[in-house]
Structure 1
Amino acid sequence: MELRQIEAFLAVAEELHFGRAAHRLRMAQSPLSQTIKKLEKSLGTALFERNTRAVSLTTAGYAFLPHARKILEEFDLARRAATADSGEVYGRLSIGFSGALNHKTLPPLTRALRNRYPRLELTLTGGLLTQDALDQLGNGSLDLSFIGLPVDAPSLATRSIAVEPLGAVLPEDHPLAGRASISLAELAVDGFITMPAAQGSTLREAIFSACTAAGFRPRVVQEVSDPYTALSLVAGGVGVSLMPDSVAGIMPGGTVFRPLSGAVPLLDSGIAWNPALISPALKLALELADTVLPTPAR
């Protein structure tokens, strides 16, 4: 397999027309067709369905497409790294996060990465619950992710970066909204807004554990994947929820955050990565994270 064959495949896959692809590559159509045939022969499968009217990708072509793009991206990255000034760092880093729950932990790391390594390309994926993040770390779609702890993922490495007390998020007209703090047991009759059980949310598990310790099982009235959406639903009077105290500063209008009295439940959050897939960029990010996101004292 040659780089020019990958370039030819991508041109045809994106144009779905051999004539336009040949024009884009500044070559004749016949050599382009021969290049594609050689690539298909080396792979042992057809990448395109061809007829007199149209060109379309086969199932194998669709499967090959993202990898072909990555090959060219990595080649471009290698070329730029090889010609970079001494001391410059090139690479790509994909970081996952949940959204509102990481509004205090994500910015210090990304800001430090951009300041220290301006040539490092960052891709941020938001709205991830813990299990989604673990799956993507496992298959290499993400390099690093902010997650809730603990997790059952023996193949991944994790480190705690924050331990926060949970508090109650209430509509501003809730009967307990005027109190300085409330007992969790006082919310036993309320409907709760939580994350979906099927998506493996650590926050949801923390909510259920805290409510169970307070002597009741929460009655779930709405499940949403995004924590800030949960806050918005609280503002709309749909129900109540529990959130770490870091969200107190980003509450939407119509909501209040109230600390819990008694034995306060805690939410442990951290970062996770796949030790089997440590790139130079990830190594640098982990070293920087040790400084800007130190492990909290217990």
Structure 2
Amino acid sequence: MELRDIEAFVAVAEELHFGRAAARLRISQPPLSNRIRQLEADLKVQLFVRNTRNVTLTDAGARLLIPALKVLNQLNLTRAAAESIRTGEEGRVRLGFAGASSQRSLPLLSRAVRLAHPGIELELQSQTYVYTAIEKLVAGSLDLAFSRLPSNHPQLESRVIEVEEIICAVPDSHPLAQQGEVRLSDLRNEDFVSLPEDQGSILQATMFALCVTAGFRPRLTQIAPDSATVLALVAAGVGVTITLSSVTPAQNVGVAYLPIIDAEPNHMFATLAWRKDDQSPALRKVLAISEQALPTPDLSEFKNNPFMIGIGLE
């Protein structure tokens, strides 16, 4: 039995007329009559009573009509699902992010996608720092990732969604907290809390680079798995850290956030990154929604920032 046989049976059962059923199926009547006879032979039951004036369903035909309609309904649902997937109304987008740094952007994007395209599933992968995200995007195990510049891999494309100030976090009881601002040299003799080196965090690498440029290597006393934990340890008095303005809401108690007046660079740039050759319709829908939910800020004043080199900012 083939689907066309079921479609032929349902058409005749609903029309109770071979001519009208043939027109509905856009075939001539003789092939339709042959198809019904062959179906009856295959099933070993008579489906219709035919005479020169009318066509009626047999009891067997009436009983088989219900499951036949279910089959065609499932077929139509399958076709509709395939069309939704083709157009991007349904699908899956695997999105990588890293902890506190995405706590503003991730909810905004997730909510916008859910409202505009409820058939698209965002599969979230946490603790995906920049270098890990780049590796996963290139390998095809991620479709989209919150990242930071520079993400100038030749296979990737990215768009800036937020400008982040590089700042210092100290316990609010620390003498530096009263200064209102710090220089990197003020941190020379401080204990530091840091993200792990092996997670591929640009923030962690930038902290080390800034300190080395200032003539010292940060003295690490505690490693934490994410920015929220880093800031909680700072609040507990374990040490200081260099962090970003975007993660400050993760710890509002016990921490003083201070601008670093001699940091160069003094800003970083959060981005969305994806593969250039990824033609997924669902991804394209998410990227379009992201431009509304997370618009690109004005970057004109940052064109000389080292992180912007190579992205063509005019």
Identify whether the pair has TM-score above 0.5, normalized to the shorter chain: yes
Instruction: For residues 40-91 of structure 1, give each alpha carbon's deviation from its aligned partner in whole angstroms, at most 9, with x where no partner exists.
Output: xxxxxxxxxxxxxxxxxxxxxxxxxxxxxxxxxxxxx96662486xx98111
Q: Distance in 2 between matches of 1:92 and 1:107?
A: 17
Identify the residue that residue 228 of structure 1 maps to in structure 2: 228
CA displacement at 1:134 relative to structure 2: 1.6
Match status 1:191 vs 2:195: no
Aligned residues: 221
**Distance 1:218-1:119 versus aligned 2 partners, 3 A rule:** same
Q: Work out whether residues 148 and 268 of structure 1, in 8 Å CA contact, stay in contact via their aligned partners in 2.
A: yes
Compute the TM-score of the two structures, normalised by the length of structure 2.
0.64
Q: Distance in 2 between matches of 1:266 and 1:210?
A: 12
**Distance 1:208-1:152 versus aligned 2 partners, 3 A rule:** farther
Aligned AA (2:136): Q
Q: Distance in 1 between matches of 2:284 and 2:107?
A: 19
Match status 1:205 vs 2:238: no
Q: Work out whether residues 192 and 218 of structure 2, in 8 Å CA contact, stay in contact via their aligned partners in 1.
A: yes
- Tell me whether 106-115 or 172-181 shows the greater mean CA deviation: 172-181
Q: Work out whether residues 195 and 226 of structure 2, in 8 Å CA contact, stay in contact via their aligned partners in 1.
A: yes
Identify the residue that residue 132 of structure 1 maps to in structure 2: 132
* Structure 1 counterpart SS, 2:247: helix
Aligned AA (1:280): P
**Distance 1:78-1:281 versus aligned 2 partners, 3 A rule:** farther
Identify the residue that residue 145 of structure 2 maps to in structure 1: 145
Q: What's the RMSD between the two structures over aligned residues?
A: 2.5
Stretches of structure 2 that go unaligned for 5 or more consecutive residues are: 1-76, 300-314
Task: Show the 5 A alignment for 1:1-298.
Answer: 81-82=81-82, 89-151=89-151, 153-263=153-263, 265-298=266-299
CA displacement at 1:247 relative to structure 2: 2.5
Q: Work out whether residues 228 and 247 of structure 2, in 8 Å CA contact, stay in contact via their aligned partners in 1.
A: no
- Tell me whether 223-232 or 260-269 shows the greater mean CA deviation: 260-269
Identity %: 38
Q: Work out whether residues 133 and 147 of structure 2, in 8 Å CA contact, stay in contact via their aligned partners in 1.
A: yes
Aligned AA (2:210): A
**Distance 1:183-1:282 versus aligned 2 partners, 3 A rule:** same
**Distance 1:122-1:177 versus aligned 2 partners, 3 A rule:** same
Aligned AA (2:267): L
**Distance 1:278-1:237 versus aligned 2 partners, 3 A rule:** farther
Compute the TM-score of the two structures, normalised by the length of structure 1.
0.67
Q: Work out whether residues 196 and 224 of structure 1, in 8 Å CA contact, stay in contact via their aligned partners in 2.
A: yes
**Distance 1:144-1:78 versus aligned 2 partners, 3 A rule:** farther
Q: Distance in 1 between matches of 2:242 and 2:148?
A: 15
Q: Distance in 1 between matches of 2:160 and 2:122?
A: 22
Aligned AA (2:293): V
**Distance 1:236-1:201 versus aligned 2 partners, 3 A rule:** same
Q: Work out whether residues 210 and 263 of structure 2, in 8 Å CA contact, stay in contact via their aligned partners in 1.
A: no
**Distance 1:89-1:148 versus aligned 2 partners, 3 A rule:** same
CA displacement at 1:147 relative to structure 2: 1.0
* Structure 1 counterpart SS, 2:277: helix
Identify the residue that residue 28 of structure 2 maps to in structure 1: none
CA displacement at 1:93 relative to structure 2: 1.3
Q: Distance in 2 between matches of 1:292 and 1:214?
A: 38
CA displacement at 1:96 relative to structure 2: 0.9
**Distance 1:204-1:296 versus aligned 2 partners, 3 A rule:** same
**Distance 1:296-1:212 versus aligned 2 partners, 3 A rule:** farther
* Structure 1 counterpart SS, 2:225: coil
Q: Distance in 2 between matches of 1:263 and 1:210?
A: 7
Q: Work out whether residues 113 and 288 of structure 1, in 8 Å CA contact, stay in contact via their aligned partners in 2.
A: yes
Identify the residue that residue 26 of structure 2 maps to in structure 1: none
